[in-house]
Amino acid sequence: MVVAGVLLGLMSVMIWLGIWLHPACPWDFQPVGDDEPIPPPPSVWPAVCILVPARNERESLPRTLPALLQQDYPGPFMVVVVDDRSRDGTAEIARALAREAGAGDRLHVLAGKDLPTGWVGKVWALEQGATFALAKQRPKYLLLTDADIRHAAGSLRRLVSESEHRQLALNSRMARLRCVSRAELLLVPPFVFFFNLLYPMRQVNNLHSRVAAAAGGCVLLATQALLRAGGFASIRDRIIDDVSLARQIKAQGVSLQLAVSRTEVESLRVYDSVESLWIMVRRTAFTELRYSWVRLVGAVLGLLLMFFVPPLWLMMGLVWSMMDASGGLATGSSTSAVLVLTGLGAWMLMARVYQPAVRFFGLSLNWVWTLPIAGLLYGAMTVDSALRYVTGMRIGWRDR
């Protein structure tokens, strides 16, 4: 038993050491798209269509749609809001906002049709928007963005400049998530941290790497690349639509770019409780594991090694050391020392690689020590996602 405990502690240390030494440095929150200089402008600014799938977004649109309609973009662009059978007057709100912004001719509101068999809601909304855009204007790029994402005035200009200069088929920004409530402080930085571990951005941006990913809140997509992939029909049934789309595009042998955004692309979605974040994560967690129970077991065991073992081994080692010193337990001082060293070493490495996430969100460095709690909560969310899948209690787009 003692030998097994020591081995588990060493395995935890090795996992965190491997993350720290990973050649792509997936933990350092780089690149930050906003920090890069804007490339030279293209000789001709191409036409762009901004697609906004919206379902019951009456509260979000007043804070996001005017910024999209008034983008500081020199070329022709239009905004298409696909009202996905909303029940809160989303379409009327969108039209009123366009009139107030003096951009009524730039906005097109589509009434979403009933969901066909085999499609997921958001992808079906994007398909309808893209079909309309191609018939109306045939833009060179489609900007896919969510109704709760606020873009700075120069966001579209920067994205297009980058795509034109670097010949990108897909250019995505991970929107800066809101991090205000206690639940967000605890769980939002780890959410982005874990995403970067799964999809290291430097590897995504490497043409010769097979890793592909995008952040669905902001994706500038070359129309021709989408058509070559078979349109949105090629990912019609994918709940994790952004990553699936990126894989379809990168499979063509073209360049992708994924970066985080500090201020220019910002999510306004509020997660004021652990429950609200839990609902968001469990919708796709088991899908990320490809509905595999073997992967689920592996993921849970891995999360326990990463987040449960280090603090527990540290506390056990300290307790055993004190009991040894008082003569109350004959475990051997070397065993206690190994437990303390492996537990503390793994936790220190964990805190080290988590520091950039904490700094990115402007939090006190004391938050680095809370990652074990967040990791175990995300593990529980993943198990819940699997249980809901097997019992048929799945969650639809924008539904609970």
User: Region 105-109: what's the mean pLDDT?
Assistant: 96
User: Region 197-211: what's the mean pLDDT?
Assistant: 97
Tell me, yes or no, whether 258 and 324 share the same domain. no
User: Region 156-178: what's the mean pLDDT?
Assistant: 98
User: Region 219-227: what's the mean pLDDT?
Assistant: 98
* Tokens 């405990």, located at residue: 5
pLDDT digits (tens, 9 = 90+) for 273-296: 999 999 999 999 999 999 999 999
Closest CA to 377 of 143, 227, 189, 136: 189
User: Region 207-232: what's the mean pLDDT?
Assistant: 97
pLDDT digits (tens, 9 = 90+) for 114-125: 999 999 999 999
Say if residue 399's pLDDT is above 50.
no
Report the pLDDT value the prediction gives residue 320, as an integer from 0 to 100: 79
Tell me, yes or no, whether 198 and 265 share the same domain. yes
Report the pLDDT value the prediction gives residue 397, as an integer from 0 to 100: 44
Tell me, yes or no, whether 166 and 61 share the same domain. yes
Q: Which tops the pLDDT comparison, 352 or 4?
A: 352
Mean pLDDT (the chain) is 94
> Is 278 part of any domain?
no
Q: Give the structural domain span for 339.
A: 2-23+290-390
Tell me, yes or no, whether 67 and 183 share the same domain. yes
* Domain containing residue 107: CATH number: 3.90.550.10
Tell me, yes or no, whether 235 and 315 share the same domain. no
Boundary (domain end) residue, out of 271, 300, 317: 271
Neighbours of 238 (CB within 10 A): 20
Tell me, yes or no, whether 160 and 55 share the same domain. yes
Task: Name the percent of the chain lying above pLDDT 70.
Answer: 95
C-beta of residue 170 within 8 angstroms of C-beta of residue 204: no
Report the pLDDT value the prediction gives residue 321, as an integer from 0 to 100: 81
> Is 341 part of any domain?
yes
CA angle, 343 as apex, 342 and 347 as ends, to 5°? 115
Report the pLDDT value the prediction gives residue 327, as an integer from 0 to 100: 61
Which segments within the chain are labelled E, that is strand?
A: 48-54, 77-83, 107-111, 141-145, 149-151, 168-174, 218-222, 255-260, 265-267
> Is 58 part of any domain?
yes
Report the pLDDT value the prediction gives residue 179, as an integer from 0 to 100: 97
* Tokens 């490497």, located at residue: 206
> Is 277 part of any domain?
no
Say if residue 178's pLDDT is above 60.
yes
Report the pLDDT value the prediction gives residue 400, as an integer from 0 to 100: 37
Tell me, yes or no, whether 206 and 331 share the same domain. no
Helices (H), 70-120: 90-100
> Is 149 part of any domain?
yes
User: Region 137-148: what's the mean pLDDT?
Assistant: 96
pLDDT digits (tens, 9 = 90+) for 317-330: 888 787 766 665 55
Lowest average pLDDT, out of 79-83, 135-139, 161-165, 255-259, goes to: 135-139
C-beta of residue 171 within 8 angstroms of C-beta of residue 165: no
Q: Considering its fold, how many domains does the chain have in total?
A: 2
Lowest average pLDDT, out of 165-179, 228-242, 317-331, goes to: 317-331
pLDDT digits (tens, 9 = 90+) for 125-135: 999 999 999 99
Say if residue 377's pLDDT is above 70.
yes
